[in-house]
Amino acid sequence: MDAGSALSGHYDTEYSKGEIMIKFMNLLGYDAISLGSMDFKYKMDEILDLNDKAEFPILSANLVSKQDKSLVFDAYTIIESSGRNIAIIGISPYPLEESSESDIIEKYETIDPIEAINKIIDDLRLKANIIIYLLVKF
């Protein structure tokens, strides 16, 4: 797992637009990641392409389209480990930083993380024994 900003910040990751890190995470068998502020320096279509290449979900319970307020990514995933269901929730920076790619600032926003979690937590308590929050610094 990773709580965010792993897809950029280094020469190799930025040169490959995050693809080399996704390949590495696939090899390591990551269960999930969330997006951090540094990840939003890519265009949304580049991030969605990385999501397609990942063998694990990119999660964000609070990144929504400005147009219809729909989630861009799954809010959570549930994995099974040692007979327990573990819910992993992704939370993106709130609010999005002005340094984010312009197409992201224009079309997307993050909602308050507490509001986002409150929408799903009751359902998750029924499905999971353990809940993990992938929070990036705010």
- The model's pLDDT over 9-51, given as tens digits with 9 standing for 90+, comes to 888 899 999 999 999 999 999 999 999 999 999 999 999 999 9
CATH 1.10.357.10 fits 11-135, yes or no: no
Rg value, the chain, Cα: 15
pLDDT band (50, 70, 90) for residue 62: very high
Q: Is the pLDDT score of 80 beyond 90?
A: yes
The per-residue pLDDT for range 108-126, each reduced to its tens digit, is 999 999 999 999 999 999 9
CA–CA distance, 88 with 95 (Å, rounded to integer): 21
pLDDT at 137: 61
CA–CA distance, 106 with 136 (Å, rounded to integer): 22
pLDDT band (50, 70, 90) for residue 67: very high
pLDDT at 42: 95
Q: Return mean pLDDT, the chain.
A: 94
| Nearest-10 crossing angle of helices 44-53, 19-28 | 30
Mean pLDDT throughout 96-108?
Answer: 88
- Of the candidates 67, 3, 12, which has an alpha carbon nearest to the alpha carbon of residue 30? 3
**What three-state secondary structure class fits 40?**
helix
Ranges of each domain in the chain: 11-135
pTM, whole model, 2 decimals? 0.93
CA–CA distance, 29 with 56 (Å, rounded to integer): 8
Compute φ and ψ for 99, nearest 5 degrees: -75, -5
CA–CA distance, 70 with 55 (Å, rounded to integer): 23
Alpha carbon separation from 60 to 45, 109, 111 (Å, rounded): 16, 11, 10
Beta-ladder partners of 65: 108
